Amino acid sequence: MSGRTWEVAARGRTDVGEGPAWDAREGVLWFIDVTPGALYRLDPASGDVDVRLVGLPIGAAIPSREGGLILALEDGVHAYSWGDATTTLLVPVEAHDTSIRMNDAKCDPRGRLWAGTMAYDFRPGASTLYRFDKTGPAPVQTGCTISNGMGWSPDTATMYFVDTPTSRIDILDYDIETGAATERRAWVTIEDGAGSPDGLTVDSEGCVWVALWGGGVVRRYAPDGQLIEVVELPVRQVTSACFGGPSLSDLFVTTAAYQMTPADIEREPLAGATFVIATDVVGSPTVTVDVSLLSTRT
């Protein structure tokens, strides 16, 4: 277990709070609520939290190198600037199939965008993990169910990937020059009853911090897959984590109140809040999207 303590960074009851991303330029945390298509901006220095509705269910929000944000929305990759009335569709993704939406997204250390999809009814095999480049969205892992957390080792040679219902964190050999991710294999398997792996982040020591949906914790695994720390939270549906703050040592954790009953909420009044945990670890920064690497054909 861990002696680390949590604080509430942003109150509020998100249905499916997700996708925390630290914006070093502005010193703010972006996070989302998937179901209503809500984008949140948290200023940890002041505690101010602002929200915008973007019009579609949202899977991720990542700062862009060119300014503004790149959003993974129901129908594809969009550009958005805070305060704008609308988003701009850059890359459609399975837009013909309204039973599918985009889910988690992240950039590799070069700013190459990766994002997955999932079906609203969670049907097996409907999810795909895509790499985005000048040729458009390239399917890299097909036949998934809930394409979820991603990350890269500090030396960029390993990519981490979660398809949540498998109860695994998988690894792939990664070529940072080409974006090729190959030889997918199991790295860590979460034991029955401990929760399901969701979003993750990698720290500067190469350790993986993974949120366990239904488990009420964030776990830290060493590069060899050994479990070395468990941070408990006061809610069960823990969704994702990222490092932020001036020294990249604050771990921000999103949670959900998805399908919780009034009795559930009474037991877990902080469900859906965003938490922050002070650590003695330097995390990996949120990598901004290099839009020049995207095909913007619509």
Catalytic residues, by residue number, are 198
Q: Any idea what the Cα angle at residue 260 is, between residues 30 and 36, rounded to 5°?
A: 40
Q: Which two tokens stand for residue 106?
A: 């992240």
Pairing of strands 274-278, 250-255: antiparallel
Q: Which two tokens stand for residue 117?
A: 């999809």
Whether 116 and 148 have beta carbons less than 8 Å apart is answered as: yes
The span from the CA of 280 to the CA of 243, in Å, is 11
Whether 224 and 257 have beta carbons less than 8 Å apart is answered as: no
Whether 134 and 179 have beta carbons less than 8 Å apart is answered as: no
Whether 271 and 265 have beta carbons less than 8 Å apart is answered as: yes
Sign of torsion, CA 162 155 106 260?
positive
The span from the CA of 85 to the CA of 91, in Å, is 19
